[in-house]
Amino acid sequence: MKSTIKFNNVNTLFSKSLKTRINNYFNTSGKPRTGDWRIILKAVILLVSLASLYILLVFVQPPAAISVLLCIVLGVNFAAIGFNIMHDAGHNSFSRNTRVNTFLSYTLNLVGGNIYLWKLKHNIAHHTYTNIEGEDHDIEIKFMRVHHDQKLRKHHKYQRFYFMFLYGVSYLAWIFFQDYEKYFRQRLGRNSDRFPFPLREKLIFWISKIGHFGIFVVAPVILVGWLPTLVGLMIAGMVCGICLATVFQLAHVVSETEFKTIEADKVEEEWMIHQLQSTANFATKNKVLTWLLGGLNFQVEHHLFPRVSHVHYPAINKIVQQTCHEFQIKYFEFKSFGQAFKSHVSVLKYMSN
Model pLDDT, residue 73: 98
If phi > 0 it is left, if psi is from -120 to 50 it is alpha, else beta; for residue 80 that is alpha
DSSP 3-state of 335? coil
Residue 1 has pLDDT above 70, yes or no: no
Residue-wise over 78-112: b if at least 16 C-beta within 10 A, else e?
bbbbbbbbbbbbbbbbbbeeeebbeebbbbbbbbb
Instruction: Report pLDDT digits (tens) over 279-288.
Output: 999 999 999 9
Please state the pTM of the whole predicted model.
0.94
Instruction: Report pLDDT digits (tens) over 308-339.
Output: 999 999 999 999 999 999 999 999 999 999 99
What interhelical angle do 337-350 and 226-252 show, nearest 10? 90
- CA distance linking residue 336 with residue 333, whole number of Å: 9
* 193: confidence class by pLDDT, cuts 50, 70, 90: confident
Residue 205 has pLDDT above 70, yes or no: yes
Asked if residue 232 lies in contact with residue 61, where contact means CB atoms within 8 angstroms, the answer is no
Mean pLDDT for 247-276 is: 92
Residue 3 has pLDDT above 80, yes or no: no
